[in-house]
Amino acid sequence: MKYKRKWLILFCTFAILIGVCKPVTVLAADAEWRMMHGEQDALVIGTVTEEIEEGYKVEVAQAFWCKQDAAKGRMIPIEEVPAEMIIEEIRYAFSYHGKSVPEVGDYIFISVDKKGSVWEQVWLAMEVSSTDPANMEFAQPENMTNSEYAWQIFVLSGGETTSFAFDGNDILYVDGEIVFDRAEYLKELKANQEAEEKALEEVKEAEDAIPVQQEESMPEKVSQISIIGGADGPTSIFIAGKVGDGMIATVAIIAVTVVVAAVVMIRKILKRK
């Protein structure tokens, strides 16, 4: 019994030590709040242009200025944010295409601090759909949660809207009012998709119902005929273009031939006189 108690005490002690020594992960909501309230040197949207030994080259499209309630004066002025950054290791918290790390060509939204000649990720890094705030999305429509929706509102407001409250992953409040309900959002999304599919089907059915009209064959116009000749030399006839098929073309050729022959005969008669 004493032997078992001894091992139980050792096990509990070991478990406690592991719990104390284990690194504490900052909750996403806490990171979001700190990021939205300015606890970083810069908050930028940019494009990953190159992966290098030091990290990633990022071309900055826009920098944000946040309400700095908890870290007043920490963020550097927007005009001092460089047009290009070298950012060390980047890990996505959210990704529009379901990635965990960046690739060249990715559009990113990231919180960074300056460390010498490079920058480092502070809170969250997110792959987004665009560098244009007006069209930026943090997730595919069917994968949207209240966190991604909150970030879209934050970006569209230019960093002004920060009073978010979350209920799980489904409900988002701004100033106490529901602005996102995932169940209702998905229902509306499905209805819109079905409406678009129906409209496309109706257009296709209407196109299929239109009979294909055969082009009526029309005789081609007889091209211009030029009579070129000298008084003593032979008369030449040049017909520019292609003579059409059918009776009209035949009559035209005969008429021209008769006229030319008549002209030649008259000239010969006049010459003899």
Q: What is the pLDDT of residues 207-263, one digit of tens each?
A: 888 876 555 554 454 444 444 444 444 444 433 444 445 566 565 667 767 666 776
pLDDT tens figures, 170-207: 999 999 999 999 999 999 999 998 999 999 988 988 88
pLDDT tens figures, 16-59: 444 444 333 333 468 888 899 899 999 999 999 999 999 999 99
- Sign, CA torsion 103/104/110/116: positive
Q: Cα angle vertex 36, ends 156, 51, to 5°?
A: 85
Q: Which residue type is seen at 26?
A: V
Q: By three-state DSSP, how is residue 49 classified?
A: strand
In terms of DSSP H, where are the helices of 170-238?
Answer: 182-209
Bridge partners, 87 (sequence order)? 56, 119
Instruction: Please give the model's pTM, rounded to 2 decimal places.
Output: 0.62
Can you tell me the mean pLDDT for 127-156?
94
DSSP 136: -
